[in-house]
Structure 1
């Protein structure tokens, strides 16, 4: 197999053998580096999340401590010990002092807290909220004394999601808050968490949010809510255990998901980072290596290609040229696009092929001249069978006393033979040729009225110069072999197409058509040299078109499955003008 390869293929195999092991080793090392970086980034992200939660826990512990120590405040104790029949002025004065202390605590803290002190005995309290129904708010079923709860609270006339916790004084009354001396409610809105999430996100690549299976997530203000919805709405739970990390696929991209659980709130802080951004430095290094390797491969391929082009390709060109001469293609030439050792050999080969072609073409031109002479002889002859049929028609119509068909036949017949027997010029215009076609088809319609014809040639084509009697054989073929054998009404449509200097004349009929075998045999004969069996019909038309307008011109035949036959004559006017 190695011996059958050319120089270029051998060079490629050698290059692959040399670079293959290095590429495999680099890919393995790159994969190890990616795994290490992924693990380190995941551990670092978990630490950052833990630090963030420690700040949240600190604020929550301050609220817890405030709720516990509030019962020792002198003003609060005074409020707790007030008699139910105390004066209104005294009650208002104590509540005002308590409210000032609650607001002072809010001003000192970093969060927007909600603080409420309620006395079940007095059925009233003090709150930083706008207004509340104390009895409904502090019903025993709605108190959360052991852990923080997440609920809707009325904040200045608007319901906001809030984290809430209660302290009952004394602690022994937790089982029955109605026996409590005081109930302290502390809370903070999710806006405080959202602000911290916004600050945490600044400068990072993640998108942190708080998650609880029973509630909607708490996100930062610029969060990608679509991705977060995919994370928490997937078939697998987003978190397992108190902390950890894993890789998830969202919208076709891999993300590193890290999470830590808050002991106070019971919520999870989750952050996700695109793996592409994590591994971008390593992948940039990998791409640089690939670029360098690709450059080396390119240089190697270029070297092998230059060797292949300047040594092996000239030899292949020479072999192909000899093979073309062997099969009879005497126009074979070797293009000399390079200068080198093979120029002399190519020059001598082209000279030899040119001499052979000149000899062959000289003989061929003599044959074509002979064919043109025979064609002129045929033009001057009258088709006896066609003429006998016309005279028989005239005789029959005269016996029947029908003068109009007799006059029409005589007029069309005279014009037809006046044109066909005129041999002083080999060329004509499409306009004159169409007049001949109309005369011929009118003659045929008088004898065979069951077919119609139409001619649609653009006016800009009418004055184009073509060889005489170049279209009539195709029309005659449509009448004799297409329409005449069938009993149904027939139609012949002759139309022209022009695109710049490229012209087409199409003769289309709905006759019996051609069988695939007959169509194949006819197409094959068009490209063969003339012999006694080929005749002077469609073959002669094709050869005259090629000789007159060049190799791009000629005759094409098609027979659609729906029936009928389509004959197309095509040529380029500029080519014909040059040769004419």
Structure 2
């Protein structure tokens, strides 16, 4: 249905509103402008100084914390033991000590977003233990010599070497007296990429820049938004008041005036500089002083009334539209908007209502299609009863009856009845994992009568924390059936089949592993191709069927993986727990 809208309706309403409400705003704006111009420079200067001082303190605290963590290694028994008693330790003891040092270095790295790495150098044995990368290796001589060359780590613990920034802590009982090698050295590399990102946020304004400068300007790390290089700013440090740790000043650099704020850390020797063009801060004040008396009456009138008109004619309808979008985002697909005026918003509201109705319809269609696809694949799997399995089962029953194995006939008949009762039930799509595992165990018991002593089966119990976890019906038995049919069917003796349940990383893994014939390269590649394919026309096996049903329910992060091992084939079915595992539970 088409509707016509008055294109000029809002415009005339806004213009009429402009003429009604402007005069009081003119007088107020004049007084505010005169007062603001007198105070804005002072406030900007104080604000810049406070901002730089605050961020300088944040950086100083973070780097001091890292230095403190380095100094804690003085009492680290594994590190001292490695540096002193390494020749007298066994291989196992040495490995344990190295792992302990590595884990502590790794915790140190993870404790700060500013660290890219942390290493312990042991010159007495010529080795380095790393918290990231290669855990244990030879000392890189050039890097080590650069890190141990710091003159006074209490005033300047930083080392800038080959465009890399480190915090160095050499430790010795004699404190490097007479050129002696330290007992050990802890080097922490600063992540300059992360530091530059932080400096970008420290910048005074969107057009400014920031940098960290080492003592006496020996090195610098600038933000990606830096406008001017460090050599152009360096002469300003000579004008720094000695009795002050911070200052803000204007300076002409490369023909342009900048506001520069600096904060020096007395404990670390570094300086945080932040700057931006002065025109971006106070340039507009000069402009407004020049044109204010010409434009204030008309311009402020138009702006004020325009804002008021926007509020009445545009802002409120827009807010209603936004609230409607929020309701749709929350899943309320029955949201509808009404608008009495035949203007632009009336058209938007009509189209919004049409869009929401169409999306709701499409969502129901997609959901129904997925549900039917899932249900049809379950029905297909239920119908795929292997005729050889039926033949073998009834033949075994016939053989036991003829041999008058009454107890075996009774047990086998019970297992077979339970099997067909379960597989022919159609009322549930999802069942508890404990029930699904019980059906799979029943299937294994049936196969045990067939293979007798040829195959040993280990079927682990389901972990208690996931026994009630709902899973699609017929997910475990096809994995076990695949092992019997393709891996163990020709096994004469010493066959093994394992079924176990593993909890790790927020997932449940159902693992079925056998030591049978294995799988060739071409067969393995073809099976992987089928598992990855989403074509609805492709012929599916039991494994592929289970894989698709699991992914339909839990997404692409779930499904089946087929792994060739030295012993045979391992099939892993992964199911995300999605927070359904109780607190405190983990891998059993």
RCO higher in structure (CA 8 A, sep ≥6) = 2
TM-score by length of 2: 0.38
- Answer with 1 or 2: which has the greater Rg: 1
TM-score by length of 1: 0.39
